[in-house]
Amino acid sequence: MAFFKKDYSRFSWRTKKQDKTIQEQHAGLLKGTMHPPGCLMYINKGQDDEMEICCFKTSTIKIVFTYLVTVLTGGILRLIFHWIPHWYVFATCNKCSIGEAEKILIKEIFGGKHKIYHVKPLKVLTPESVQKLKDDDENLLNSHHVTVRENVPTLSVHFENGEFRELDKLLMFNCKKVTYIWDSRKHEFVKLRGLDQGVASDVLHKNKGLTGGEQFTRRLVYGSNKITVKELSIATLLFLEVLNPFYIFQIGSFILWFLDDYYYYAAAIITMSVFGISMTVRQTRKNQRKLKSTVHSSDVCTILRKTPKDLNGGGGDVTYQTESISTELLVPGDVLVIPSHGCIMHCDAILLTGNCILNESMLTGLRNTKNDPS
């Protein structure tokens, strides 16, 4: 009995010490240190799309060694890394905490058996990087709409319940067309949310528009309001198709038959391979162009632009004025002005004031229009 009490007391002391350490780590996270206890985390915990992620940073020693082995193997090792990208991460990177991470390795498990790996770069946004983009890239910033005297604000990100937090540093990555951002309060990655979920109507009615700087920083976080379809060049498509494992096997078969003096077999293999590659590249290129022309849509819309006090001579109230911009520059929080002659809505929106008639025939296929005064 005495032994049991002694062991219990020892166990209790260790637990308190561990709890204190964990509390200190969490306190550091809330202060913005962004160093979780380990590099292994989960996203979408407890959901159907739950995935395991691990943080990595590049290692100079591993990179030099990997390139040396690649040269010695005649490029075969690099070809294997092209087929299995997460092996390249293991070969050239070390595991690290989120504060040092450069790449994110994501592991999906289906049915407890099948695994799929994704390697994604970790993007870091800071006010300094935003200011550099503002000075360097006029097209991205739409600088003729952003007043020169206006300072770029901190990064504004919506987390939940209509709350936009002002952040000095934002970590984010994209996976399967979904953007994930680092939540320093929960010390985990969460999905980047718009204003279509968990936002009360009174919060939406309080929004009167954004300044040029606010719109720009949100566009850096949320991206442009358009569907981007990559149109790869013929050379790129040809290169990717040739590196397919099947055609690598065909090349090996061609060399083997040719060395054994089976010239007809070798010629048949190379002819069929060239024909198959050509048809695949042609069809892929055609599909990309057709899809891009189908989904691409852009127009000019009118929004309410908020002008800060310091741009109004240092005093007075904030002013709002209408401004015409491209629909590709719209971000969550913009207030649209629907013209009297109507328009095509290029985004999801909620009607705040007035009445409108919505034609849903393009979406539903029905001929009747819907009168939506709400």
User: In sequence order, what DSSP letters do the residues of 151-181 get, joined into one string?
Assistant: PP--EEEEEETTEEEEES-EEEEEETTEEEE
pLDDT for 141: 44
Digit-coded pLDDT (tens) for 152-183: 557 778 887 767 788 888 899 999 889 999 98
Give the residue-averaged pLDDT of 293-306.
87
Q: Helix or strand or coil: residue 48?
A: coil
Output 248 or 2, whichever has higher pLDDT.
Answer: 248
Rounded CA gap, 37 and 58, in Å? 20
Q: 299-302 contacts: CB < 8 A, separation 24 or more?
A: 299/326, 299/327, 299/343, 299/344, 299/346, 300/324, 300/325, 300/326, 300/327, 301/325, 301/326, 301/327, 301/330, 301/336, 301/337, 301/343, 301/346, 302/336, 302/337, 302/339
Q: What percent of the chain has pLDDT over 70?
A: 77
**pTM of the full predicted structure?**
0.76
- Please give the pLDDT value at position 113: 79
Per-residue pLDDT reduced to its tens digit, 214-246: 888 888 888 888 888 888 999 999 999 999 999
Q: Which long-range contacts (CB under 8 A, 24 or more apart) does 253-261 make?
A: none
Residue 326 bridge partners (DSSP): 300
pLDDT at 18 over 70: no
d(CA 333, CA 209): 7
- In 3-state terms, what secondary structure has residue 20? helix
Q: How confident is the model at residue 14 (pLDDT cuts 50, 70, 90)?
A: very low
Q: Give yes or no for residue 342 having a pLDDT over 60.
A: yes
